[in-house]
Amino acid sequence: MPVTSYLVLAAILFCIGLYGVLTKRNAVIVLLSIELMLSAANINFVAFSKYGLYANVTGQVFSLFSIAVTAAEAAVGLAILIALYRRRGTVEMDQFHSLKG
Amino acid sequence: MIKFAWIIPLFPLVAFLLLMIGRRKLSEGAAASIGVAGVLASLSLSVAVFLERLQSPSNYVATFDWLRIDQVMVTMGIEVDALGTLMLLVVSLVSFLVFVYARGYMRGDQRFSTFYAYLSLFAFAMLSLVLSPNLLQIYLFWELVGVGSFLLIGFWTFKPEAKAAAKKAFVVTRIGDVAFFVAILLTFWKVGSLELSQVFAAVESGQLAPEIVTTIAILIFIGAVGKSGQFPLHTWLPDAMEGPTPVSALIHAATMVAAGVYLVARTYPLFLASPIAMDVVAYVGVFTAIFAATIALVQNDIKRVLAYSTVSQLGYMMFALGSAGYVAGIFHLTTHAFFKALLFLAAGAVIVSCQRQQDIRQMGGLWAKNRTVGSLFLIGALAIAGVPPLSGFFSKDAILLAAYQDGRYIVFLVGVLAAFLTAFYVFRLFFLIFGGSYRGKEPVVSVPKVMVWPMIILAVFAVATGFVNFPTDAFANWLVEGNGIVAQTASTPWWLPVGMTILSIIGIAMAWILYGKRSVAVSSFGEPGPLPYRLLARKYYVDEIYDRVFVRSLKGLGLILQAFDRFIIEGLVKGIAGIISWLGRIGSRLQNGQAQSYVLVSLIGLILLVVSFTAGRLLK
């Protein structure tokens, strides 16, 4: 089944992204890892729109939407990072702990 | 006039309230005037009641209902009988004189008004006590005089010894009070009434089993033992001398400590119905008399000698009562109140003139410097030593005669020996204070006039009171008229008064030889000395024994209970709190502000959710 190989690829990509989000200290890398996870989701969309049980074009359209949203998210995320860097002088994730109760 | 007897205790009560309200504002003169006015009013009314009671020998009882317990009504009120009238007179007279005296003795004290307030409270309680018609009311005022005594012993709160003595007095007398309370409960249970008249009626009609009467009588006697400082509960009384001297004279010589004797006399029909109880009273009394007299031989604190002397004389009264010498006991109570109050007040004057020095080794030669106080002290000493024709001679003879006629020869002989010792130690005191040369360092100062004339009045009474029962038995007949107690009227054997007089003169002469003629050097005291001397100087080690046996064992029990509380109870409480806060710490460690760990936690949660859903579906 060709869909299986797409899904495995997406799962591997998602796991790499998740690993990056959880372990990397640099916020830019974390942002990139999030992009990776979103790409994995997009691959799933496309794969199911081609080989799914009810294959139709909606999945591809949705993945286009998703890419647009991701681009916006990356822009906003990077902007926040720059603001953070200006304010705190670092992009290390573990320095941002003002949420601590 | 006798109808207004209930007002007598209220004057000091009003004085107490006024003094408490104005204790910060009143000057010394104003405070003393209020206090003295209160007792003076009581005294004049008491005299009036006494005179009326002399003319019409019938008891006056007035009560009102106070509490209803099931079917039984507990009343409050007054009962004026011969004994009560006599006590009213003695208490109010001695109170009045001591109140006047305290004006001089307490001069310059910071809490002068408070002192008078406490004294007034005590006078109120004591006067109410002697008017009480039922056991519950007696108990009420019995405790209230205890409170007055506690407050006044510990009056000088800056002295740690005074505070300890106050606590000791309170705790030790409480032991007796518990027994008294049990006696009251037992009476109520068996008789169904607390009225003394009904209790006596029940005893006379044989309604009570003899062993119950004995138990009640002995329990009441234990209460009296506590209050009157009889062995083995005597230890608080010498320590109570830490209080101001007027307090010692009023409370711990003349009135409150005599309340135990009064109680036994008041409930006398109970004792008469029980030979065992009479034996107990007689033997405890005579043992206390000789025991305290021997201790008094070697004490060096002027007030402690007098305190042990008081214990010993109270023992006399007790064994008189135990030997069916009702009149003799009360007679001695009356004369003792006067001459012992006189001795205490004179001792207070000596203490003032030696600038608050109480150690007789630091005194001496005061006869030349203060002849008035010296001769007053001498009168008191002669009276207590039993030299005719002073009051102590008559009352002591009456007591010994009672013991002799009751067939208690051992008690009689020990009593004679104690009388001899009394003459000896009191004149040892006299010669050490007034004879020889002055050994103190501070210069001798004069005694205020206001302190002297109360002593003169007391001296008159100490000399003259004996004649109320001599040459006729007027006092005895008056006291027992109408209350069913038989006065002993058998004639005195000729050798008793003669022998007693010779014995007391020998005692005085021995004291003169040992302490008067030879001006004793200070260094001859205070050395460890031979064993009997040490035994006496340490008061037979009774305090030490009590400390080892009761105080320490109770403290040990307290420590165990404290450990139980601290480690087991508190351990439980702290353990539970610890578990909760440990959980809280783990929870708060999760919230560390790191977004990544939050993500990790939600991932773990998600995985758990997925796994459990999958497992659930597979297992279905």
Helix (DSSP H) and strand (DSSP E) numbers for chain B: 27, 2
Give residues 366 to 395 of B whose Cβ lies within 8 Å of A: none
Q: Is B592 on the interface with A (CB under 8 A)?
A: yes
Pairing relationship of beta strands B72-80 and B60-69 according to DSSP bridges: antiparallel
Does residue A60 fall inside a structural domain?
yes
**Using CA atoms, how far apart are residues B131 and B124, in angstroms rounded to an integer?**
11
Least confident piece of the model among B285-289, B377-381, B525-529:
B525-529
DSSP result, B334-374: HHHHHHHHHHHHHHHHHHHHTTS--BGGG---HHHH-HHHH
pLDDT at residue B46, rounded to an integer: 92
On whether any CB of chain A is under 8 Å from the CB of B445, the answer is: no
Contact status, residue B313 vs residue B252, Cβ threshold 8 Å: no
CATH, residue A21: 1.10.287.3510
Residue of A94, A98, A100 lying closest to B591 (CB–CB): A100
Which of A18, A21, A98 minimises the CB distance to B593?
Answer: A98
Closest Cβ–Cβ partner in B591, B594, B599 for A94? B594
Alpha carbon of residue B455 to chain centroid: 22
Residue A96 placed within a domain: no
Q: How far is CA B240 from CA B125, B309, B340, in A?
A: 19, 14, 16
Element containing residue B66 per DSSP (H, E): strand B60-69
More confident residue, B608 or A2: B608
Q: In angstroms, rounded to a whole number, what is the distance separating the alpha carbons of residues B211 and B224?
A: 20
Q: How crowded is residue B446: how many other Cβ atoms within 10 Å of its Cβ? A: 13
Residue B593 has its nearest CB partner, among A18, A30, A99, at A99
Residue B115's closest CA among B2, B266, B243?
B243
Q: Is position A97 within any domain? A: no
Residue A68: which domain range? Answer: 3-91
B589/A contact by beta carbon, under 8 A: no
Nearest to A22 among B588, B592, B596 (CB): B596
Each residue's pLDDT tens digit, B418-450? 999 999 999 988 988 888 788 877 788 888 888
Quick check: B71 contacting A, CB < 8 Å?
A: no
How far apart (Å, rounded) are the C-alpha atoms in residues B475 and B330?
10
Sign of CA dihedral B30, B31, B37, B40: negative
Chain A residue at shortest CA distance from B596: A22
How many C-beta atoms lie closer than 10 Å to residue A5's C-beta? Answer: 10
CB neighbourhood size of B348 (10 A): 28
* Distance from the first to the final alpha carbon of chain A: 50
Q: How does residue A65 score in pLDDT terms, banded at 50, 70 and 90?
A: very high
CA distance A99 to chain B (A): 4
Give me the percent of chain A exceeding a pLDDT of 90.
62
Query: What confidence score (pLDDT) does residue A33 get?
Result: 93
pTM exceeds cut of 0.80 = no
Residue A48 falls within a domain, yes or no? yes
pLDDT band at B489 (very low <50, low <70, confident <90, very high): low
How far away is chain B from the Cα of A77, in angstroms, using its nearest Cα?
A: 15
Q: Which two tokens stand for residue B220?
A: 């009441």
Q: What percent helix, strand, coil does chain B show, rounded to 5? A: 75, 5, 20
Output the average pLDDT for chain A: 89
Question: Tens digits of per-residue pLDDT, B566-600?
Answer: 889 999 999 999 999 999 988 887 777 778 888 88
Using the predicted structure, report yes or no on whether residue B319 has a pLDDT greater than 70. Answer: yes
Contact call for A22 and B603, based on CB within 8 A? yes
The alpha carbon of A63 is separated from its chain's Cα centroid by a whole number of angstroms, namely 13
- 8 Å CB contact between B301 and B427: no
Residue A22 is assigned to a structural domain of this protein: yes
Which residue on chain A is closest to B598 by alpha carbon?
A: A22
**What is the rounded radius of gyration, in angstroms, for the C-alpha atoms of chain A?**
17
**Count of domains forming chain A:** 1
Number of A–B residue contacts, CB under 8 Å: 31
Per DSSP (E only), the strands in B119-269 are none
Shortest CA gap B615–chain A (Å): 21
Specify if A100 maps to a domain.
no
In chain B, which residues have their Cβ closer than 8 Å to the Cβ of A22?
A: 596, 599-600, 603
B471 has a chain A CB within 8 A of its CB: no
Nearest CA of chain B to the CA of A95: how many Å? 8
**Phi, psi (degrees; rounded to nearest 5) at B157:** -65, -15
pLDDT digits (tens, 9 = 90+) for B52-91: 888 877 778 888 888 887 777 888 888 888 888 899 999 9
Contact A101 B600 (CB under 8 A): no
3-state percent helix, strand, coil for chain A, nearest multiple of 5:
80, 0, 20
Mean pLDDT of B146-173: 90
d(CA B421, CA B392): 14
Residue B482 has what pLDDT?
Answer: 65
Cβ-based neighbours of B233, under 8 Å, separated by 6 or more: B172, B173, B175, B176, B225, B226
Would residue A99 count as lying in a domain?
no
Q: Do B595 and A93 touch (CB under 8 A)?
A: yes
Q: Flag whether pLDDT at B526 surpasses 70.
A: no
Structural contact between residues B37 and B119, judged by C-beta atoms closer than 8 angstroms:
no
| Ramachandran class of B475: left when φ > 0, alpha when ψ lies in -120 to 50, beta otherwise | alpha
Angle at A31 between CA A28 and CA A37, to 5 degrees: 145
pLDDT at position B69 is: 76
- Cα-based distances in Å from B356 to A8, B115, B606: 106, 18, 89
- Closest to B212 (Cα-Cα) out of B273, B169, B260: B273
User: Mean pLDDT across chain B, nearest whole number?
Assistant: 86
In angstroms, what separates the C-alpha of B614 from chain A's closest C-alpha? 18
Which residue in A has a C-alpha nearest to residue B587's C-alpha? Answer: A101
User: Which positions in chain B touch A21 (Cβ < 8 Å)?
Assistant: 596, 599
Confidence class for position A17, pLDDT limits 50, 70, 90: very high
Q: Which residue of B has its CA nearest to A15?
A: B603
Cross-chain residue pair A100–B593, CB shorter than 8 Å: yes
